[in-house]
Structure 1
Amino acid sequence: MPPRPMPFLSAALAALLLAAGCAATGAPATAADGARAGVQAIDPPSSPEWTHDMARFAAEDAADPPPAHPVVFTGSSSVRLWTTLAEDFPGRPVLNRGFGGSHVRDAVHYADEVAIRYRPSRILLYAGDNDTMDGRGPQQVLADFQAFVARVHQDLPGTPIAFIAIKPSPSRIHLLEVQRASNALVRDWAARTPDVDYIDVFTPMLGADGRPRPELFVGDALHMNADGYALWRDIIAPYLR
């Protein structure tokens, strides 16, 4: 099955995407900009492989129906590999809908499959790591996250959404400043946007030398070990109370 194309944007979603572009570029909005926003979709999915993940989620739902109004975690491999998610947040109806290797824009394209269909009580998104690795800059990360928020709030207004900061890792230390800039743009936008939060895992994962803490990672120096996930658990837990 080919990737599901994005439909034309509603007026509300187009307006938010237009605002995202203006916030990222500093350019004032014009009537022509608004007209263009109404017919333009975001970039296509980063890979056709995500259709397999969506089919897997549907099969899992059929075999073991998810809880009502779960806390949905979605995004790339740092979520997908979080195998202790339920244990780390006991008493919370958490649902893991991570699909490894994904970009922020993939969460927009598949928002129905990974989040909206569950009518979640809140959504936590971890993405941007692969985006910056593949050359997408801070303004694009922000715009794509804004598009994700717009897509969810189009169907589920008022649903709390949090962006888990792009983590620093030893294998991608050359991207540290791009990650920092991306996080800062999202943090600042979230601070002035209702029902949107920014969760800072970036700063605690740096050592006193300003470099990623190697003891938080497995051998590939990219994905986290149990200590890394324990750190994330402690940072995220207050947000879920």
Structure 2
Amino acid sequence: MIFALVSSVTDCKSYSKRDYFDTSFQCFAEPGWRDDSNFKKYIEKAWLPMRLLFAEDNSKIKRSDIVFVGDSLVHLFVPELIAKEFPGQSVTNRGIGGDITETLLSRIEDDVLILHPGTIVIEIGGNDFREGKCLSLVQNNLQSIIQKIHNKNRNIKIILLAVPPTRVKELNQIVPVYNLFLNQLARTTKNVEYVEVWDTMRNPDLPTLSEEYFRPNGDVLHFNEKGYELWGKKLRPYLQK
């Protein structure tokens, strides 16, 4: 129900206004989404209810060795798939559909760090670019998230998962630029690693999601179970260290 609401208020219309390569494009540096009324609806009806569920669950489980956090791509990495990809490991999912870097920054302490994880896997940024957020703003938010984590515990290992390709041209134009930033950030920051998935998940001849990862319902933003199998394959070596 919550994910259906998120999908309804984060649809793909007006992507032409989010084209970073359009000569008339102006990046968005304000809080939230370009549509403020939809953003407020999202926070009230989806984001806050999910956080209440997380708080209740966190009070029960107390600790988790590994926490996944991010947007709808993490949200859809459901417990059954996580258990299949990381058997016998203590893994908790704290993804929220529709999340952006600034809202993740605001919740990282209460939703994730409270579980005292040794490793945090982060996939975030796609929704920022869906809104045409200024690239420097997204990068600064991500750096602030890392700083907040390491201010809590400098020994926490952070894995930055590349934002994967979609079936949306405007996103596929800017996301590789952001992934280059993630890669470089990992190279220059202690206890931060970068895991590439863009190259494997894209069409070998086109800068778009490979057809083998298409969801059957016409969803142009997310990928199918085979994509999560790839995530598992790519991440297992890092999570078993």
TM-score (norm 1): 0.76
Counterparts of 2:146 and 2:170 in 1: how far apart (Å)? 29
After TM superposition, the structure 1 = structure 2 runs for residues 121-136 of structure 1, keeping only pairs within 5 Å, are 121-136=118-133
What is the match of residue 230 of structure 1? 229
Which of 181, 192, 196 pairs up with 2:192?
A: 196
What is the match of residue 8 of structure 2? none
Which of 94, 103, 107 pairs up with 1:97?
A: 94
Q: Which has the higher contact order (CA 8 A, sep 6+)?
A: 2
Contact 1:214 1:221 in 2 (8 A): no
What is the match of residue 72 of structure 1? 67
Q: Does 1:184 align with 2:183?
A: no
After TM superposition, the structure 1 = structure 2 runs for residues 133-144 of structure 1, keeping only pairs within 5 Å, are 133-144=130-141
What is the match of residue 103 of structure 2? 106
Structure 2, unmatched stretches of 5+, are: 1-28, 34-38
What is the match of residue 209 of structure 1? 205
Counterparts of 1:181 and 1:161 in 2: how far apart (Å)? 20
Counterparts of 2:171 and 2:222 in 1: how far apart (Å)? 15
Structure 1, unmatched stretches of 5+, are: 1-41
Contact 1:167 1:205 in 2 (8 A): yes
Instruction: In structure 2, give the amino acid aligned to 1:236.
Output: L
Counterparts of 2:82 and 2:103 in 1: how far apart (Å)? 22
Deviations, residues 141-193 of structure 1 (Å, cap 9, x unaligned): 221110000111111222111111111111x2222121010111121121111
Counterparts of 2:192 and 2:30 in 1: how far apart (Å)? 23
Which of 123, 131, 148 pairs up with 2:145?
A: 148
Identity level (%): 28
Which of 54, 58, 63 pairs up with 1:57?
A: 54
Contact 2:64 2:92 in 1 (8 A): no
Counterparts of 1:223 and 1:185 in 2: how far apart (Å)? 22
Number of aligned residues: 197
RMSD over aligned Cα, in angstroms? 1.8
Give 1:230 deviation, angstroms: 0.8
Contact 2:121 2:158 in 1 (8 A): yes
Counterparts of 1:151 and 1:96 in 2: how far apart (Å)? 19
Give 1:44 deviation, angstroms: 4.7
What is the match of residue 220 of structure 2? 221
For residue 163 of structure 1, give the secondary structure of its aligned residue in structure 2.
Answer: strand
What is the match of residue 238 of structure 2? 239
What is the match of residue 10 of structure 1? none
